[in-house]
Each structure stands twice: as C-alpha cells, then as structure tokens.
Structure 1
Amino acid sequence: MRRSGVPWWGALPDMMLKSGTPHALRVARSVLPPVAALVLALGTLSGCSHPSDPARPPTAVEHRATATETVDLRQRVTDFTDRITQAGTYRVPAERDRRAVADGVRVLLGGDRAGALRALSKAGYTVRTLVDRVGARQVAEVADATADGEARRGWGRVYVDLRGPARWQVQVPHPTADQRTEQLGVGLLRGTPGGVMVLAGAHRNAAGDAADVAHRRDSVFAAVSDALADRGLPALQVHGFADSSLPGQDVVVSTGKGDAALPSARRLAGALRARELRACEVWERYCGPLEGRTNVEGDHAAAADVPFLHVEHSRRVRMDDGLVAQAVGALTEVVGEWSARRP
C-alpha cells in the first residue's frame, strides 16, 4: 500500500510527522464481561477477563470490573496515535514476547482472565477495563503495562468489545502514516458487536522498516492477528493512500492473496457505491500499487482459508468526518454479517 499522512489541520505534505504530548497511562487491573469486540492496538494493548465459569461457553469471557475507567474511546485511541511519530522508537520483539502477547489474547478470548494475565505479564503487558462514554459499552484494553514501556517498544494495543464472543477483527497497521485510519477502526468497534481491534504502536518508518507491521512477520501485531485468524476470525485491514496515487477513486477493495473474502468484498464494493464512494475492485481491474497482495497478515489468512479484506481509503475520505462515517457504514455491512455468524 502507498502511504499518505496529511495532518487534519492543514495541507501539509504526505507523511508529515504528528506529535502529541506524552502522558502517563493509568494502569488499572480489572476483569471483563463476555468478550465481543477485541480491539487490538499493538502499542498499548489492553483487555481484561476473569476466570471462566464452567457453565459458560469457552468463547465468552466473564468480566466483573474491580476497577474501570470511563473514557471516550475515540479520544483515547486518538491520543495514543497522536504520540506516534516517525522519530519515535521501536524495538523488534523477541519471539517469546510475540508468543506471550498472542497467547494472552487467545487465553482471554477463551474465558480465562487469570491465565491471560499470566501470559501477558511475561511480555510486560496487562489488561484494563474501559467504559466508553458513547453507548456505555465495556471494552477490554490489552496494552503495555507502563507508559514508558509503550513509548520505548511501540508494540501496540488490542481493544476488545465485551458485548459477546469475538467474531471478527479490524487491523490498523499504519497509524499516523495512514492518517486517521484508526478512526475507521473505532467506528467499526463501536457499531458492531464481536469485534477485536488490533492497533500498531509505532510509525511504519520507525527503526527503518522494522516497524512496518503489515510487511514484517516478527511483530506483536502479526502474532496477534494470526492468532485471531487461527480462531477463524475474518479480518478487515484498513489503510490510506494519497489522492494522487489513484485519481478518481475513493476506496480500493482487495482480498489480498486469497479469495475466501470475495463475497464480502463484492458486498463492500456495492455498499460503498450506494454511498456514492468510488470503489476500485481489485478482482475486476488493476488498482495500481494498492492491491495489498504482499501483506503478511493476508498471507496467513489465505493459508488458513479465513476471509481477509485489504481496504485502502483516499486522503479525501479520511480527512472528512462525513465521508469517514459513510465508509464506516459500508464496512459495517460486512462486519455485521461476520458478527451474526455462529462458529
């Protein structure tokens, strides 16, 4: 995918740095209700669960909050991504750390909060419970246990909607570089039960290309995304492109290397057109260097025969709140179908 990153406050060149004022994140231990939407943002992962009730199905995470924080989820995620810059640091995680976070998320979704905390703590991660002011939804945040660790390592976060069992995932691999793509993820998480959001924690250009988690297998982002795919969760990976990269198009819809998501891709293209957004359909025509054929998460999904959609959004769409809402509405038609499916 081609990068674009024009800050919302002006017509600055693509890929300009954004900066925010770092601030300490609260570390609050908590327990979670049934896990429905897990938003995985890989620089600040947070989520929570509680030892499972034997009478409950293994896909439901019981959550009794001992300490919760009421937040505006959109603002919390925006504050996080505003601190991500090209000048930021990133450390390639060791295999044991990737495994620990992925195992923690997997165990959390299986209903064992205590086991999830044990696994996550091996990598310096924890889980927190948040209540979103919009809709009063409980969300699990899986993240680095300390603000300092998050800033130094840049491994990202995971957010889990707790309205029910996890059914689908949205991946945000290039925050800041692909300006405001995290807003698409938050919109989906708020609107459709059963979602898990995986959010990268560093700029794609940090540490050379080491932080480009869409094209590196050795990341926490890929490890978590793959673990979710192994559970059968279909994925929607959101990106952004400069308007000049594909003039006359608003969105590029691709199924990556596989074709398991082709019915969903066609539905998405139709939903976009119904909202007067111009969609380039990769299975119908050449869409330039924006087709998402080389993303490692898509490779894994194809091998697992799990639906994967790679969706690029123009700067014109991403910088306009109204068009973002239209794009989220179209994407929601797809994840809504995924959410309604039963294992």
Structure 2
Amino acid sequence: MSLTRDIEPRRHLGFGGGARIARRPDPVPRQLFNDGNAAFWNPGDIDLSRDEADFAALTPDERRLTCLFVANLISIGESALQDLQPFVTAMASESGRDDETYLTQLVFEEAKHAQAFRAWLDAVGMGDCLPWFTEGGDVRRQNFLEELAWSLYALTDDHSPAAQIRAAVTHHHVVEGCLALACYTAAARICRSRGIFPGLLRIIEHIAADERRHVAWGTFTCRRHVAADDANWAIVLQRTQELLPLATRMIGEMLAPFGPGAPFGVSMQGLMASALSDVGRRLDSVALARGRRPDEIGRDHAPIRLEHEIGREGGRAPGEDDRGTVVALRRQL
C-alpha cells in the first residue's frame, strides 16, 4: 500500500515522516544530510580583510578572470534556488522523505554559496559589477537558461525516473560536478600558489565540500533508478554525452577574451581534464548499480566514498588534454 503525498494546498493527505507505509528509507541521502549538518559554516564568519589588498595588486586581466570565476559560481548557486524546486516537489510526491529533506538542505546551501561569493565581491570593491560578468555568453545562456532550466522544470509535470535522471545528470553531474568544481579547483590552486585571497580560499574549501555532497546525491539518484530498471542506464549515458561538449565550450567561451595566454596559466585543457575524468568515474559508479537490488543501492555509500576520494586527490595534471578524456567517457550499454 502506498501513501500519496499531494503537495497542493489543502490536499495534503499525509505526513511522510510519520507514515508507516510508502516511506523509502535510504541511508545515503540521510547520511548526506547528517554530514551537511556537521559541516555547517557561516559566510559571515570568514575574514575577508586581506583579500581587498590582494585583489588590488593583481593585473587587470587577473582581476577580470578572478571575477569571471566568482560571477559564474554565483550564477550556479542562484539558479539552483529556483530551478531545484521542482526536484524537491518530485521527491515529496514520490514519498522520498530522505531525498526531500536532503534537497531542502542542498537548496539552503546554494543560497549560502551565493551569499558568500557576493560578500567577497563587495569586499574587493566589485559588488556593483556583477552584471558585467554574467550577462554575456551564448554558450553560458544555453547551459543555464535552456538545458539546466529545461531538465529541472520538466519535473514540474513529469516525476518519472527518466526525468529525474536527466535532471540529476544536468545539475549534479555536469553543472556542479564538472563546471563548478573545475572552477573551484582552479581558483583554489591560484590562491595557494600565489599566496593570495585567504578569505576566498576559505570560502572555496567550504563550498567545494558542500558541492561534493550534492554531486554524491546525484550519483545515488542515478544509481537507484538504474538498479530498478536497466534501461535507465542508456538515459544516463545519453544525457551526459549531450552536455559535456557544452560544458567544455562554456569554459572556452569564458577564457576566449584572454587569447592563448590566460592569466595565472589557466587553460581550458587544464580546467576540464580532471573534471571530465571525474565525470567518467561517477558514470562508472552508476554502471556498477546495474543488476543490483534497489534496496542495496539505498544502503551503499559508494557515491559518498567516491567524492571523498576525488576531493583528496585534489585535481588534475596541468595542461592535460581533455579530448582523450571525452572519448573515454563513452561507456558501453
């Protein structure tokens, strides 16, 4: 027997947390929620007093690239505040209580990320300049205003496993796991190698840990649907292969104004090589769910362990060519 949780006003038929039926207990999202609570941080506690002087000492191109990184990361956080609401609704309707709880925390964390980066821009005197870095870019608009929004808002009317997979691959694996974490890794390396921006580095360290939990939930979501129906594996692969070229083009578009010599030695290959490799490792984790029972997947913390491993390894070989990595992502059905 199942409990229908209609979330429309005055039609709520039950409380998922107190129901004895139709509650899918999944320790993985519950563990992610607990980890998020344990790792709580407050952007207002981070000291940004030294970052303004460090920013002023950069060259104009270095300041521009730094602001581009931060502005794009703000865009990812702010888009999640609206675009993830249909995913929360889908989980509520499915009685995925642990998923619904975790996604609520995830949305809160994205709001905190945007707050932290906006505070940093204010601290370095660039708070009024955000539109300069976010309003251009055809590929960027295609990623955020078309592909991301389409995938997530499709869940408004379609809660099917296929729709959930497309949304999870788009937001969690590509936008967060590929684009955002590539920028976090590059920015953290710049801060450490140059000995600059201690406040920004602290922000990035907190946010990267949050994002890895977000990505782990996306991997888990794909795994449980693939375990339930092997035909869903093809949907995971198809959506990944549709989006990775766009992700690579977006990084290229961001670096294009600097020509062949971008500041800090940043290159598209250097930014994307490890990020694309990590996407491949997450695909391998999803593939390992094929043929397993869905209840086993709910108890398997493999996605969490994988993100811990990726986080410890901390990046890529500078200058590694990403073209071979893209080919390597073509997993077999």
- Specify if TM > 0.5: no
TM-score, normalised with respect to structure 2: 0.30
Quick check: which one's helix share is greater? 2
Larger Rg: 2
TM-score, normalised with respect to structure 1: 0.30
